[in-house]
Structure 1
Amino acid sequence: MMAVMLLAAALGLLASCGSKNDAIESFDQLNQPDVKIGVASDSTEFALVQENFPQAEIVYAKDLMSSFESISQGKMDAFVGNKINMELALHNGLKGTRLLDGTLGPGNVAGAAISPHTEIPDLKNRINEFLGQIKADGTLDEMRERWMVKRDMTMPDIPEAKDPKYHLTVGTTGMSEPFTCYVDGELSGYDIELAKRFASWLGASIEFKIYDYEGIVPSALGGDVDCIFANLYKTPERQQALEFSDPTFIVEVGIMVRDESSGTPANFLASLEESFDKTFMRENRWQLFAQGIGTTLLITVLSILLGTLIGFAAFMACRKGNRVANAVTRFCIWLIEGMPVVVLLMILYYIVFSNTDLSGVAVSVIAFTLIFAAAVFNMLKAGVAAVGPGQMEAAYSLGYTDTMAFFNIVLPQALPHAMPTYKAQIRSLIKATAVVGYVAVQDLTKMGDIVRSRTYEAFFPLIAVAVIYFVLAALLIWMVNRIELRAIPGRKSSEDTQKEAQEQ
């Protein structure tokens, strides 16, 4: 693992050598054809950049961490976004970047977004009434001072509602410090405190669901949450789809550029040790990885078991040539295999099961069960086709029924042909589960992103996630190999084969 980390670091250093050397010192330098300016997708910054820097090339960024990394590596020349996020990142040790003096535009207005499907009556007006009260009594100003100025990341104790009249489900991201983030393994931040205070004021129990910013608006539109507290900006497109509360915060827009003077650590090994500590040990962040591993394994194992059963049942229904069963199965497999995994997952979550109480984990299991079942069907079809028809004829001549002949003669010969593909599908499945963060599931990849949002480093979180996926895949394949040795007559382990070769 250490060799992989050192190689990745060396390649990163080599890549950075080819970046631009001209330091950007002012806004005027950004209005050039060869300048790349990053903005968050579906944000007001896009219009600001178009208006102020019409000659520059605009690049969409997935999230803050990726943007900061792209700046420090020279892949983008500047990033336009939330100035508070940037200031806090620099305060927490982000290297290789700096802020230009000044702000761009009047600022972004953030508010709580209201789902059109919420069952809490008059939710928008109630949030506005609550905001008006805490503004009048000074609570809102105290919160802003504590989170934004003093940068105190300690969540105060907020009493829960006794005998709650409602259940408030809140969508957030957990990836925008200091508004919504994880501290000591728990959700924290300005918007999280605001949501908890509102739930206590309303007399409601509260539940948080975690999404990427790409998925948080669809979650409200689909009725998966009652409202969104995530420093969500009021853009014209969002306001056409969702109602917004009065402003919860007005965010200044800043510009981050590369700072080569702070990008290279003096002691490489010391920086590795510091990164390891920030990624795993500080605030017990290893527990986030452990939670993600558990969720990833749960989805993968259940999908394998259910997919194997459904795929086998579908094959048995089609084996004798039933036209209806074959037509339905072919259509389903065509539909599943022709659709990107993330699209299938989002269709199931936001459309098919939007009005149910199924969790993101349950919907993920359904999606990957369908995918694995389609693969199992095709594997069995190919494996059985590899067994000559004479085997069935011989079985019939010995008095076997069709079912007895299949399970005792054909299937044992077909499985060795199907097992290599079956194991490959398991490896593919566990890697494919990395997209479940789109439907509010905190799997291994999502937890890695959450850690990156606090450390502002890509190296250790990404390498750790990659290594863990390798280990999980190897563990599952080892378990399948053990089962295969017991289930298929005549199969030998690699150790037994080596011993026989040595004896000969």
Structure 2
Amino acid sequence: MAELIALLSYGDAGWGDELLQGLLITLALALTTVPFALVLSFLIAWAKQSKNPLVARAGRTYTTVFRSLPELLTLLIIYYQLQSLLNYVYSFFVEDAAISLNAFVAGVVALTLVFSALGSEVVRSAYQAVGSAQTEAALALGLSRRVTFFKVLLPQMWRHAIPAFGNLWLILLKDTSLISIIAVSDLMRFTNMAIATTREPFFFYSVVALIYISLAFISGLAQKALERNASQTYIGGR
């Protein structure tokens, strides 16, 4: 057992520093994706409820496509096809263009597309839970649409959306492991490297499983704190 624990030491003798570096990359990928996915979720939800039929159809198509595709397939399409498309467009300006798309950026883009499609449904459900009467009442009082959204709708929608977004966050954390397939040195990639070197798959997979369970536990505590804060803010503001 001591020999296995020694495999987690730092330096040349162990893989502790590599696993920590991979964990930081995993968290960086997830945390970078979240703000883009949240903003895009609201935009897609707005598009699907637009009175313009073309905009509404485009929003529904976006959601259908990226909810249907496996996350791995979306990642591979973004990484390989988007790179080819960029080279094709750039070739009109520079002959023999060769653009190499950063794998981390490709991972952020792919995960943003997938989770904004899922998040748009969360936003739409949260808006329906609040109801359009809140908007009508705020506008009748003379509030601008911007103030109505940020001061009236968003706090109430956020309270309804936290549980669903919490679930999406956990899914996002797990799906970050997919980027190891495009050579991003995340937690799973370093784990597989450690297994290939030490021939100890059960030990390293168990360690990584404990890490993901710990992340899920911490995320659950953060979600409960957000829900409690949102409820207190809502009750205090009534």
TM-score range (shorter-chain normalised) is 0.7 to 0.9
CA distance in structure 2 between the aligned counterparts of 1:343 and 1:463, rounded to whole angstroms = 27
Structure 1 residue 384 corresponds to structure 2 residue 127:
yes
Change (3 A) 1:424 1:330: same
Q: Tell me the alpha carbon deviations over residues 14-40 of structure 1, each in whole angstroms, 9 at most, x when there is no partner.
A: xxxxxxxxxxxxxxxxxxxxxxxxxxx
User: Which aligned pairs between 1:223-302 and structure 2 lie closer than 5 A?
Assistant: 272-280=1-9, 283-302=13-32
Query: Partner of 2:44 in structure 1?
Result: 314
Secondary structure of 1:386's counterpart equals: helix
Task: Assess if the C-alpha contact under 8 Å between 2:7 and 2:16 holds in 1.
Answer: no
Equivalent of 1:490, from 226, 233, 236? 233
CA distance in structure 2 between the aligned counterparts of 1:461 and 1:279, rounded to whole angstroms = 9
Query: Partner of 1:433 in structure 2?
Result: 176
Query: Partner of 1:324 in structure 2?
Result: 54
Query: Partner of 1:334 in structure 2?
Result: 64
CA distance in structure 1 between the aligned counterparts of 2:114 and 2:25, rounded to whole angstroms = 18
Query: Partner of 1:305 in structure 2?
Result: 35
Equivalent of 1:464, from 207, 212, 218? 207
Task: Assess if the C-alpha contact under 8 Å between 1:364 and 1:436 holds in 2.
Answer: yes
Change (3 A) 1:318 1:340: closer
Equivalent of 2:195, from 443, 452, 462? 452
Q: Tell me the alpha carbon deviations over residues 150-182 of structure 1, each in whole angstroms, 9 at most, x when there is no partner.
A: xxxxxxxxxxxxxxxxxxxxxxxxxxxxxxxxx
Residue 340 of structure 1 deviates from its aligned partner by 0.7
Unpaired runs of 5+ in structure 2?
A: 88-98
Task: Assess if the C-alpha contact under 8 Å between 1:279 and 1:451 holds in 2.
Answer: no
Change (3 A) 1:488 1:438: same
Matched to 1:409, the amino acid is V
Query: Partner of 1:424 in structure 2?
Result: 167
Query: Partner of 2:90 in structure 1?
Result: none
Greater fraction strand: 1
Secondary structure of 1:300's counterpart equals: helix
CA distance in structure 1 between the aligned counterparts of 2:115 and 2:9, rounded to whole angstroms = 33
Residue 296 of structure 1 deviates from its aligned partner by 0.4
CA distance in structure 2 between the aligned counterparts of 1:330 and 1:357, rounded to whole angstroms = 32
- Greater relative CO, 1 or 2 (CA 8 Å, sep 6+): 2
User: Which aligned pairs between 1:129-140 and structure 2 lie closer than 5 A?
Assistant: none
Change (3 A) 1:317 1:404: farther
Query: Partner of 1:405 in structure 2?
Result: 148
Query: Partner of 1:360 in structure 2?
Result: 103
Secondary structure of 1:441's counterpart equals: coil
CA distance in structure 2 between the aligned counterparts of 1:423 and 1:392, rounded to whole angstroms = 26
CA distance in structure 1 between the aligned counterparts of 2:148 and 2:80, rounded to whole angstroms = 45
Query: Partner of 2:93 in structure 1?
Result: none
CA distance in structure 2 between the aligned counterparts of 1:381 and 1:439, rounded to whole angstroms = 33
Task: Assess if the C-alpha contact under 8 Å between 2:79 and 2:103 holds in 1.
Answer: yes
Query: Partner of 2:216 in structure 1?
Result: 473
Task: Assess if the C-alpha contact under 8 Å between 1:312 and 1:377 holds in 2.
Answer: yes
User: Which aligned pairs between 1:120-135 and structure 2 lie closer than 5 A?
Assistant: none
Structure 1 residue 414 corresponds to structure 2 residue 143:
no
Residue 447 of structure 1 deviates from its aligned partner by 0.9
Identity of aligned residues (%): 27
Using the size of structure 1 for normalisation, the TM-score is 0.41
CA distance in structure 1 between the aligned counterparts of 2:166 and 2:218, rounded to whole angstroms = 11
Query: Partner of 1:29 in structure 2?
Result: none
Unpaired runs of 5+ in structure 1?
A: 1-271, 493-504
CA distance in structure 2 between the aligned counterparts of 1:484 and 1:402, rounded to whole angstroms = 26
CA distance in structure 2 between the aligned counterparts of 1:453 and 1:491, rounded to whole angstroms = 52
Matched to 2:204, the amino acid is P
CA distance in structure 1 between the aligned counterparts of 2:36 and 2:223, rounded to whole angstroms = 15
Secondary structure of 2:131's counterpart equals: coil
CA distance in structure 2 between the aligned counterparts of 1:456 and 1:321, rounded to whole angstroms = 59
Residue 438 of structure 1 deviates from its aligned partner by 1.2
Equivalent of 2:112, from 354, 362, 369? 369
**Number of residue equivalences:** 221
Secondary structure of 2:185's counterpart equals: coil
Residue 481 of structure 1 deviates from its aligned partner by 5.5
Task: Assess if the C-alpha contact under 8 Å between 1:391 and 1:410 holds in 2.
Answer: yes
Residue 349 of structure 1 deviates from its aligned partner by 1.1
Task: Assess if the C-alpha contact under 8 Å between 2:22 and 2:189 holds in 1.
Answer: yes
Secondary structure of 1:353's counterpart equals: helix
Greater fraction helix: 2
Task: Assess if the C-alpha contact under 8 Å between 1:412 and 1:489 holds in 2.
Answer: no
CA distance in structure 2 between the aligned counterparts of 1:324 and 1:490, rounded to whole angstroms = 38
CA distance in structure 2 between the aligned counterparts of 1:277 and 1:481, rounded to whole angstroms = 36
Residue 398 of structure 1 deviates from its aligned partner by 2.2
Using the size of structure 2 for normalisation, the TM-score is 0.82
CA distance in structure 1 between the aligned counterparts of 2:121 and 2:150, rounded to whole angstroms = 18
Matched to 1:286, the amino acid is G
Task: Assess if the C-alpha contact under 8 Å between 2:134 and 2:152 holds in 1.
Answer: yes
CA distance in structure 2 between the aligned counterparts of 1:319 and 1:331, rounded to whole angstroms = 13
Change (3 A) 1:319 1:411: farther
Matched to 1:314, the amino acid is I
